[in-house]
Every structure is written in C-alpha cells, then in structure tokens.
C-alpha cells in the first residue's frame, strides 16, 4: 500500500501517523521527493482500512499495490534510482558504457583491452573470471586469478570492474570488485540473491534465458528485501523460436521496466545477438529506447578468444558504437 502525504504536513502529524502504522506491524519505507512524501507500507495491509487512512488530515491519497514486488516498484519510489560507480552515474540520464572481454584470459589481454575501452569512452570494465559455460569441457574462466588480473587492470586504468559470481562460496573473492554480476543462469538462485542483498555492492542482475519481466523484478526484490537497493537490471536477450540470432533482444522491456520500476535498465547487445555485426544496430536501438547503459563484449583478438569471440567487437568498432551512442543520446525516449 502507498500513502501519499500532503505537502504541508507537520513533523508531529508525520510521527503520529508512522507510530500508528508501526503499531499495525507494518514496515514503512519513506520516500521524500522534491515536493511530496510517499510512504510505502510493507507487510500485511489487508486489514488496514484505506478509507480511514484517506480521511486523515495529513493524507493526500492511498493506493493499494497489487504487484508482489514492492521495493523495486516505481509506485513506492517514484524517482529514478541512480547508482554511482567510479565516475559513472548509472540511471543518471547519461548512458553508461561497460565494456571488456567475455573472459579474462591473461594479464596482457585484460590490460590491453582495459586501456582501449577506456580510451573509447567505457566507464566500467567487464570481464568474466567465473564462466557459466554450457559444456563442462569449455574454458571455465581463470577464477581467483582472473579477479586478481581485473583488479590490476582497475589499478592501471582507474576503471571500476564488473564480474560475475556463480556461487555464494566465491563471495570473499569479490571484496574489491565494484559491481557484482548475477548472470542469466543464476537469476533465480535465490540463496545467492539473498546473500547479495545483505551486502551493499551494486548488483548487475541479468534477465534469465526464459524469464518474464515480473520474474526479473521479483529477483531484484530478493536482493532489495535484504537491504541492498543497488540493483541494475539487464536485458540480454531471451530464448524464442528464432534461431537466426543467439537470443532475441526484447527491446520492449526497456520502457516496460522503466514504467514498472525505478531501477536503472541496461542492455547487453552482445549476448542478445551472438554476432558482432548486429551489436551496433541493437546498441543504438537500446539507447534510443531509453536504456541507461550498455554492456558490450570487446576483444583485441576475437578470432582467438577463449569465449564468445564471434560476438565480440574489436576496440575500433567499440569506439564507433560509443561515438554513435553519444550522438543519439539527445534523441533517446525517456
């Protein structure tokens, strides 16, 4: 339930209302906007008389919320959430570019790519250390050593790093990681989401291969319910009947998620398509639709990449995408 307060209420009226609501065993999420204060009531509100609340001097309006996600819901929190990482403000209006290889492969590889993507305008460096591969015989990532190398690249370039966690047991290795990625395959690993919710690091939450928007938002809710409100939603293509591309990029979720949630929404055109030639047009489409950023795979030698070479951009092509993003940003629909 949402309670919108009148603009000119007194602190006494506010305290008295909150005291009464707490006595009803409800948690109160207070959102103070520029002019209006909105209370989100969490807990069992079925017994609460909305008309009684509405009649109070301090109350402007009361709305029941039917969606099961509360903390991720824009109705509870009308203003956009902005997540600051290094120089980047994700959700702050300027699209943020995250770029780097699918996997960290060596010191030379990650340092070279980090410098190149930084020069092209990336604000964060991506790179997998723990890789969820379909085949157990494929390269599984450099694991702890991969994280060490990412940290070295961070020190060298100043770029904050984004890397994927696959299991709670790996969490101690992520102490200096700036943004923890939960990959598509782990979107509903609820124990992992709960653990990440107890921390305060930004979480890049990728949409599951066959997950609905509601399921994605419920996974965000798992993290937020634990107290961590820094969740970045990521559309990375979903599985459909179409086989011409690796997945089908669901561009429509950009405006849909922005309407339903206050969390930033970014798009991954690399995993969405699986083909480097399609990354640029879909990156442009995502920005035009209002995405808060892009996460793009970039490799300096894609032909020999240990993972996802066919969808990786060479640094020059990434620089072209970055330039195009800057040009179309003023025309993006928000």
Interacting residues with ligand PEP (CB under 6 A)? 102, 128, 132, 164, 183-185, 206, 236, 268, 271
For Mn ion, how many residues bind (rule: CB under 5 A)?
2
Burial of 285 per CB tally in 10 Å (0-12, 13-18, 19+): middle
* Least spacing, CB of residue 317 vs ligand PEP, in Å: 18
* Least spacing, CB of residue 271 vs Mn ion, in Å: 6
Q: Which residue's CB atom is positioned nearest to ligand PEP?
A: 183
- Report what 236 binds from ligand PEP, Mn ion, none; CB cut-off 5-8 Å by kind: ligand PEP
- Report what 184 binds from Mn ion, ligand PEP, none; CB cut-off 5-8 Å by kind: ligand PEP
Tokens coding 315:
């640094």
Residue nearer to ligand PEP on the CB measure, 43 or 274: 274
Residue nearer to ligand PEP on the CB measure, 40 or 208: 208
* Least spacing, CB of residue 126 vs ligand PEP, in Å: 7
Q: Which stretch binds Mn ion (CB under 5 A): 137-145, 187-195, 278-286, 300-308?
A: 300-308
Residue nearer to ligand PEP on the CB measure, 75 or 206: 206
Residue nearer to ligand PEP on the CB measure, 9 or 201: 201
Residues 85-104 that bind Mn ion (CB under 5 A): 102
Query: Is residue 234 near Mn ion by the rule CB under 5 A?
Result: no
Q: Alpha helices of the chain — where are they, by DSSP H?
A: 11-23, 50-54, 107-120, 144-157, 190-197, 213-225, 253-260, 269-273, 276-288, 315-328
* Least spacing, CB of residue 181 vs Mn ion, in Å: 11
Instruction: Please give the Cα distance from 113 to 260 (Å, whole number).
Output: 36
Instruction: Please give the Cα distance from 37 to 6 (Å, whole number).
Output: 8
- Report what 221 binds from ligand PEP, Mn ion, none; CB cut-off 5-8 Å by kind: none
Buried b (16+ CB within 10 A) or exposed e, 244-277: ebbbbbbbebbeebbebbbbbbbbbbbbbbbebe
Buried b (16+ CB within 10 A) or exposed e, 32-58: eeeeebbbbbeeebeebeeeebeebeb
Question: Which residue is associated with the tokens 């938002």?
Answer: 217
- What is the CB neighbour count within 10 angstroms for residue 330? 6
Positions that interact with Mn ion (CB under 5 A): 102, 308
């Amino acid at each position: 339930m949402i309670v919108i307060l009148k603009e000119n209420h007194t602190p006494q009226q506010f305290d008295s209302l909150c005291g009464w609501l707490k006595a009803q065993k409800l948690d109160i999420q207070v959102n103070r906007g520029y002019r209006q204060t909105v209370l989100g009531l969490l807990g069992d509100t079925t017994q609460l008389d909305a008309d009684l609340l509405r009649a109070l001097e301090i109350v402007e309006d009361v709305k029941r919320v039917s969606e099961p996600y509360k903390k991720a819901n824009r109705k509870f929190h009308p203003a956009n959430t902005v997540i600051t990482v290094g120089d980047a403000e994700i959700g702050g209006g300027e699209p943020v570019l995250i770029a780097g290889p699918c996997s960290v492969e060596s010191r030379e590889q990650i340092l070279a790519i980090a410098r190149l993507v930084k020069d092209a305008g990336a604000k964060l460096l991506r790179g997998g250390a723990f890789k969820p591969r379909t085949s157990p015989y494929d390269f599984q990532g450099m694991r702890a050593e991969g994280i060490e190398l990412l940290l070295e690249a961070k020190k060298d370039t100043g770029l904050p790093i984004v890397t994927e966690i696959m299991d709670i047991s790996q969490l101690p290795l992520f102490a200096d990681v700036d943004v923890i990625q939960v990959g598509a395959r782990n979107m509903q690993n609820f124990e992992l989401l709960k653990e990440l919710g107890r921390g305060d690091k930004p979480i890049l939450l990728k949409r599951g291969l066959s997950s609905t928007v509601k399921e994605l938002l419920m996974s965000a809710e798992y993290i937020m319910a634990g107290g961590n409100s820094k969740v970045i939603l990521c559309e990375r293509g979903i599985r459909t009947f179409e086989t011409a591309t690796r997945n089908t990029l669901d561009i429509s979720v950009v405006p849909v998620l922005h309407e339903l949630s206050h969390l930033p929404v970014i798009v991954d055109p690399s995993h969405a398509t699986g083909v480097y030639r399609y990354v640029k047009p879909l990156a442009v489409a995502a920005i035009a639709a209002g995405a808060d950023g892009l996460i793009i795979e970039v490799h300096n030698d894609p032909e020999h990449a240990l993972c996802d070479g066919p969808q990786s951009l060479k640094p020059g092509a990434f620089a072209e995408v970055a330039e195009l993003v800057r040009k179309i940003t003023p025309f993006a629909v928000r």
